[in-house]
Amino acid sequence: MQRRQFLAQCTAASLAAAIANALPAGSPPRSPRILLRSSWQCVNIGDIAHTPGVLALLEKHLPDATVTLWASGNLTDEVAAMEHVRFPQLKIVKGSIGSQGTASNAELQAAIAETDFLLHGSGPSLVAAKDVAAFVKHVGKPFGVYGITHGSFLSGNGPDLLSQADFVFFRDSVSLQLARDEGVTCPVMEFGPDGAFACDLRNDQAAEKFLASNGLETGKFLCCLSRLRYTPYWTIPGDHRKSDPKRVARNEEMAEHDHAPIREAIERVVRETDLKVLLCPEDMTQMAVGKKYLYDKLPTDVKPRVVWRENYWLTDEALSVYVRSAGLFGSEMHSPIMAVGNGIPAIVCRFAEQTSKGIMWRDIGLGDWLFDLDVDSEAAAVPAAVLAMARDFTAAKAKTEIARQFVLKRQHETMGVLRDELSENT
């Protein structure tokens, strides 16, 4: 053990002893304290959904725990306010741990000193690897990882760090197998659903107003989401990420290929059922994408029953719309996750650039609702699958419920692992 880690652990032990000595004799032990490192960006309702999803799981399965959210610096006031509507007592801190082991602000320093366990939330990788590594090095308290994909270009130094976790739950089986193949030695490595499955935010007033103003009735429309191979963040005002010529070229090369089967599905739903279709975004770039590659290219007889949402929305309003729909389809991931988590059917289209996260649909029992657009035969099967879902909501919902029950079971089991870890460390 390094001297710095030894000192950090001694400090933590001294703090725990001081707290224990301050309690009246015979009083019950204090509630466990969890520091949730989550909240990656706010330009995508799916990235937002990770955090309230895990918070809802902690509230349900560990109701006595005190949870502090360690958010990224780009968490906006608007999103924080939305989260506080659902979790009014939630304390949010930001900042980082410096090279000397000191937090960048007093609020984060206090949260680190008080916590018993660091929980890294769901994401496309070990997103906050630098923060976790600093916590392990300077604080010496245990940590775990909940519902990530592993192996993407974002994974960085993940394998070595993952071995030091008390547990790691991977949100798709491909990531789990990769970690095993890499020799990650974490004692508990299992499939664990993406935290967004548990997201239950609502803004019913905004949703009902939007639906009424666009002639959409509950149960009488499908939601459709589409995207480019690479998210064009450089088109978002205020976003400082620069465009990559290779990614721009790849987007242009594959845009029509990827949207053609989805557009055909829209046409068949409109022409062969009494349902309407809502084109809606998961991130701030997708309103323009949906209009250019879907709405603008629809036949004139189809357009009147297709609604294009031109403005971005937040997770609470989006989810309130999804639960009033007859299902979702398209090439996004987290809107379907939130839909299935709330009992609404969802078909997912994927491609190589999206990493292995889409494989989770097979892992939860919805493999025949997962289509790889890089495989011609699967892409060609999308319209018929969407039409079948649209024609028989009862059957689709029953199928969804089987998957949802599996997710609920794994949520219970994975939260049980966290509960056991907390009992050993508090």
352-408 tens-digit pLDDT: 999 899 999 999 999 999 999 999 999 999 999 999 999 999 999 999 999 999 999
Same domain, 157 and 36: yes
Average pLDDT, the chain: 92
Shared domain check, 190 and 336: no
pLDDT value at position 19?
Answer: 36
Predicted confidence band of residue 287 (pLDDT cuts 50, 70, 90):
very high
State percent of the chain over pLDDT 90.
Answer: 87
Mark whether 165 and 224 lie in a shared domain.
no
Q: Residues 70-93: what's their mean pLDDT? A: 97
**226 and 275 together in one domain:** yes
The larger pLDDT score, comparing residue 152 to residue 227, is at: 227
User: What does the pLDDT read at residue 22?
Assistant: 38
Higher pLDDT, 188 or 238: 188
60 with 29, same domain: the answer is yes
The fraction of the chain above a pLDDT of 70, given in percent, is 92
| Res. 198 pLDDT band, cuts 50 70 90 | very high
Backbone angles phi, psi at 285, to 5 degrees: -95, -10
CATH number at residue 31: 3.40.50.11720
| 92-117 average pLDDT score | 97
Mean pLDDT of 199-210: 98
How many other C-beta atoms are found inside a 10 Å radius of the C-beta of residue 214? 13
Clarify whether residues 49 and 9 are in a common domain. Answer: yes
- The domain tally of the chain equals 2
Residues 170 and 228 in one domain: no
Q: Do 39 and 8 belong together in one domain? A: yes
Task: Dump pLDDT digits (tens) for 13-27.
Answer: 433 433 333 344 455
Q: CATH no. for residue 308?
A: 3.40.50.2000
Quick check: 5 and 135 in contact, CB under 8 A? Answer: no
Instruction: Kindly state whether residues 347 and 248 are assigned to the same domain.
Output: yes
Q: How many CB atoms lie within 10 A of CB 99?
A: 8
Say if residue 212 is in the same domain as residue 145.
Answer: no
Name the pTM for this structure: 0.91
Say which residues have a Cβ less than 8 Å from residue 51's Cβ, sequence separation at least 6. 36, 38, 39, 69, 71, 83, 121, 195
pLDDT computed for residue 239 by the predictor: 82
188 and 283 inside one domain: no
Say what the pLDDT of residue 304 is.
Answer: 98
Domain of 171? 3-198+408-425
pLDDT, position 4: 35
Residues 193, 75 within the same domain = yes
288: alpha, beta or left? (left if phi > 0; alpha if psi -120 to 50):
alpha
User: How do residues 227-281 score in pLDDT, each as one tens digit?
Assistant: 999 999 999 988 888 899 999 999 999 999 999 999 999 999 999 999 999 999 9
